[in-house]
């Protein structure tokens, strides 16, 4: 009864948004059924020639990078001591926690024998990068859970465990930063084994370093983007001075990342292959171009301090890093595979389905738990 | 890192192959696969194919590398290099990540894309037969001696002798002798291997070394990184505590504060923090 009344009170935009979400969830459920009961061929364009497609590229390789806001911000706040960013720690930790859960769920869709996902726990192969990534992601998910759980404890006013959690915050954060450093870079190491398959513009022995640098670049950008979005959706103010500050860290990371990336092209002597007119070259130039545009906005202090430009630079950064991950997992792997891969609509839709679930979960958790102090318990605003 | 176990091997002499397809049939029968290869390429339905190019028959199958890339990348050890030589697969361990398909330099492992619970399929060098001292189905059935089974050292010696005796007949190259550290399948051809679609620029080192150089640094990163982060955090927070103490009772250090504005700022931040916690 209560729910019906509330839906009646929704504004037209809100009704529309919820209808779209509902439709996405319904179609996503149907596609999930097909994936798990009819096999890959029914929903994907994956093949023996191209065994890793959109799900690995977007849900896992890019997803992990985009969820890096958690460890970068926790590093700044708890290790370096920038306690004035404290107000955005909780939404960021929540985003990272949900992000990593989505990565794990996305992985379930991509694993042929998803019910064996726990096997790396007991069946070890320390020579495998995938083994290390599996362990790091599992452990980091636990760390994120520990960082998330104080919000629940606070909600139910459980003081004793809350005090205990506060005491172990710094060791937990250190563990989180270490694990993130390892698996963010290891996702780059995953591609070290394919020197003859990944296009030379992207294949470099320093892939792990580039993956790590790009992760700490996109982390702050995701924090800004996510804060801007929640300020819109939850009608709360944007802490602009904090955002501008964080954008400063992002700029440093980005300059180092793009610098190392370009220098690496010279060191390996593959600059000529930028000008061969191949589709790889086009994609590579676009990828770098997007990041340079974001750099340019942040370098100019006037633009950086302007909310719209700041938001634009964050979007560009996120798109640029996402583009990089898809270039490595998809564009750069295509020529050697001897086939043309383009994801089936259902592949993309399942990823959209998962992202939607994440966003809806974020929405309801913010309504329920003390994520943003002023929204907690304010359920009438739903 | 991994030990090299040469073990048993297969020697394929393409110049002797008449393209009868007996090996394909025998393989299909041995492993319960559909008897007629549905396509002219490897798939989960056929572990080996006989093809023809430039007037010469040739064959594709798992190379059974001495240090297999697939074995090194598999996170759960579902692929294994046995002491006898075959690279075998344990479907019950497999999680279906398909990293082996991605990493194999010869693009050998194939997948059952149509099945709800798919497994990897590839030649396993008739592991059961080899373990019992027998030979592979394909070499056993080959009518011309184009496919021979034996110890890798002996087969390699035979191959070198043949090339020396008939230099006009062969390309002076034994494919698999050094590729990615050497393979358990050795190939001889009258046509350049590149024309047959075999990758030529694989190098002579196992690909897994590329990863291991990074992986082996991980314990160091963890220990150094952990100490570094802990140290930084401790120093910074210790200094913050001292500043707070000075602010509360400047007399304790016998001097007044030099930069009161900054410290007031910190006090405000601290206040905000507390109110944040309370809220």
Cβ distance of A38 and B226 shorter than 8 Å: no
In chain A, % helix, strand, coil (3-state, to 5) comes to: 80, 0, 20
Check CB contact of A167 with chain B, cutoff 8 Å.
no
- Asked if A173 and A75 count as a contact pair (C-beta separation under 8 A), the reply is yes
Chain A from 180 to 209: CB within 8 A of any B CB: 181-182, 189-190, 192-197, 205, 208
Neighbours of A291 (CB within 10 A): 25
> Quick one: closest CA in B to A107, which residue?
B97
Write the class of the CATH domain A51-375: mainly alpha
Q: Residue with structure tokens 């760390």?
A: A143
Cβ distance of B229 and A374 shorter than 8 Å: no
> Quick one: closest CA in B to A209, which residue?
B214
Residues of chain B in contact with residue A110, where contact means CB-CB under 8 angstroms, are 97
Name the nearest CA neighbour of A175 among A66, A61, A79, A64: A79
pLDDT at residue A376, rounded to an integer: 47
Contacts of A260 (CB under 8 A, 6+ apart): A206, A209, A210, A213
Task: Enter the tokens of residue A132.
Answer: 């290390």
> Which among B42, B118, B270 has the least Cβ separation from residue A112?
B118
| pLDDT tens-digit readout, B118-159 | 999 999 999 999 999 999 999 999 999 999 999 999 999 999
Give, for all 382 residues of chain A, the pLDDT tens digit.
455 556 677 788 888 999 999 999 999 999 999 999 999 999 999 999 999 999 999 999 999 999 999 999 999 999 998 988 988 999 999 999 999 999 999 999 999 999 999 999 999 999 999 999 999 999 999 999 999 999 999 999 999 999 999 999 999 999 999 999 999 999 999 999 999 999 999 999 999 999 999 999 999 999 999 999 988 888 887 888 899 999 999 999 999 999 999 999 999 999 999 999 999 999 999 999 999 999 999 999 899 889 999 999 999 999 999 999 999 999 999 999 999 999 999 999 999 999 999 999 999 999 899 998 665 444 434 3
> Quick one: closest CA in A to B74, which residue?
A128
- Asked if A211 and A185 count as a contact pair (C-beta separation under 8 A), the reply is yes
Query: What global pTM score does this model have?
Result: 0.90
- Asked if A134 and B75 count as a contact pair (C-beta separation under 8 A), the reply is yes
Q: Rounded to whole angstroms, how far apart are CA atoms A255 and A56?
A: 27
Check CB contact of A111 with chain B, cutoff 8 Å.
yes
């Amino acid at each position: 009864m209560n729910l019906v009344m509330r839906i009646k009170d929704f504004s037209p935009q809100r009704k529309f948004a919820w209808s779209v979400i509902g439709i996405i969830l319904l179609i996503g459920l149907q596609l999930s059924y097909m994936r798990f009961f009819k096999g890959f061929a029914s929903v994907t364009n994956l093949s023996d020639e191209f065994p890793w497609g959109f799900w690995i590229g977007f849900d896992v390789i890019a997803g992990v990078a985009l969820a890096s806001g958690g460890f970068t911000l926790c590093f700044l706040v708890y290790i370096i001591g920038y306690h004035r960013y404290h107000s955005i720690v909780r939404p960021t930790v929540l985003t990272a926690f949900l992000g990593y859960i989505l990565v794990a769920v996305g992985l379930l869709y991509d694993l042929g024998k998803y019910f064996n996902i726990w096997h790396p726990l007991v069946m070890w192969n320390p020579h495998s990068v995938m083994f290390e990534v599996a362990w790091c992601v599992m452990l980091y998910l636990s760390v994120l859970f520990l960082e998330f759980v104080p919000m629940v404890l606070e909600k139910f006013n459980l003081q004793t465990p809350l005090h205990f959690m506060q005491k172990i915050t710094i060791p937990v954060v250190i563990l989180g930063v270490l694990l993130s450093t390892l698996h963010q870079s290891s996702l780059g190491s995953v591609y070290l084994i394919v020197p003859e398959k990944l296009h030379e513009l992207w294949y470099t022995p320093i892939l792990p370093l580039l993956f790590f640098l790009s992760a700490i670049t996109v982390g702050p950008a995701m924090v800004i983007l996510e804060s801007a979005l929640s300020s819109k959706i939850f009608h709360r103010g944007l802490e602009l001075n904090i955002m501008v500050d964080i954008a400063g860290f992002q700029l440093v990371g980005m300059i180092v990342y793009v610098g190392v990336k370009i220098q690496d092209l010279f060191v390996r002597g593959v600059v000529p292959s930028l000008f061969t007119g191949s589709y790889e070259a086009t994609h590579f130039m676009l990828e770098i171009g997007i990041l340079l545009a974001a750099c340019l906005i942040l370098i100019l202090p006037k633009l950086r301090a302007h909310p719209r430009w700041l938001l634009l630079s964050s979007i560009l950064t996120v798109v640029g890093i996402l583009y990089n991950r898809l270039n490595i997992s998809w564009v750069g792997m295509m020529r050697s595979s001897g086939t043309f891969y383009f994801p089936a609509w259902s592949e993309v839709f399942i990823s959209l389905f998962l992202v939607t679930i994440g966003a809806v979960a974020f929405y309801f958790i913010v309504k329920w738990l003390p994520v943003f102090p002023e929204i907690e318990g304010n359920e009438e605003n739903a | 890192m991994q030990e090299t176990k040469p073990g048993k091997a297969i020697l394929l002499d393409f110049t002797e192959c008449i393209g009868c397809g007996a090996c394909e049939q025998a393989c299909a029968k041995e492993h319960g696969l559909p008897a007629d290869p549905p396509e002219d390429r490897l798939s989960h339905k056929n572990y080996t194919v006989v093809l023809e190019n430039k007037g010469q028959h040739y064959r594709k199958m798992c190379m059974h590398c001495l240090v297999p890339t697939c074995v090194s990348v598999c996170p759960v050890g579902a692929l294994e290099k046995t002491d006898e030589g075959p690279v075998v697969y344990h479907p019950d361990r497999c999680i279906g990540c398909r990293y082996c398909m991605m990493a194999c330099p010869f693009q050998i492992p194939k997948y059952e894309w149509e099945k709800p619970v798919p497994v990897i399929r590839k030649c396993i060098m008739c592991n059961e037969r080899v373990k019992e001292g027998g030979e592979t189905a394909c070499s056993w059935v080959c009518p011309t001696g184009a496919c021979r089974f034996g110890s890798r050292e002996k087969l390699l010696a035979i191959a070198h002798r043949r090339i020396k005796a008939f230099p006009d007949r062969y390309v002076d190259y034994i494919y698999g002798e050094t590729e990615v550290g050497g393979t358990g399948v050795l190939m001889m051809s009258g046509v350049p291997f590149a024309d047959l679609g075999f990758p030529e620029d694989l190098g002579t080192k196992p690909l897994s070394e590329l990863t291991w150089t990074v992986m082996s640094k991980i314990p160091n990163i963890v220990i150094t990184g952990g100490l570094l982060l802990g140290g930084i955090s401790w120093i910074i927070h210790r200094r913050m505590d001292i500043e707070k103490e000075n602010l509360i009772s400047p007399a304790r250090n016998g001097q007044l504060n030099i930069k009161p504005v900054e410290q007031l700022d910190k006090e405000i931040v601290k206040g905000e923090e507390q109110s944040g916690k309370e809220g």
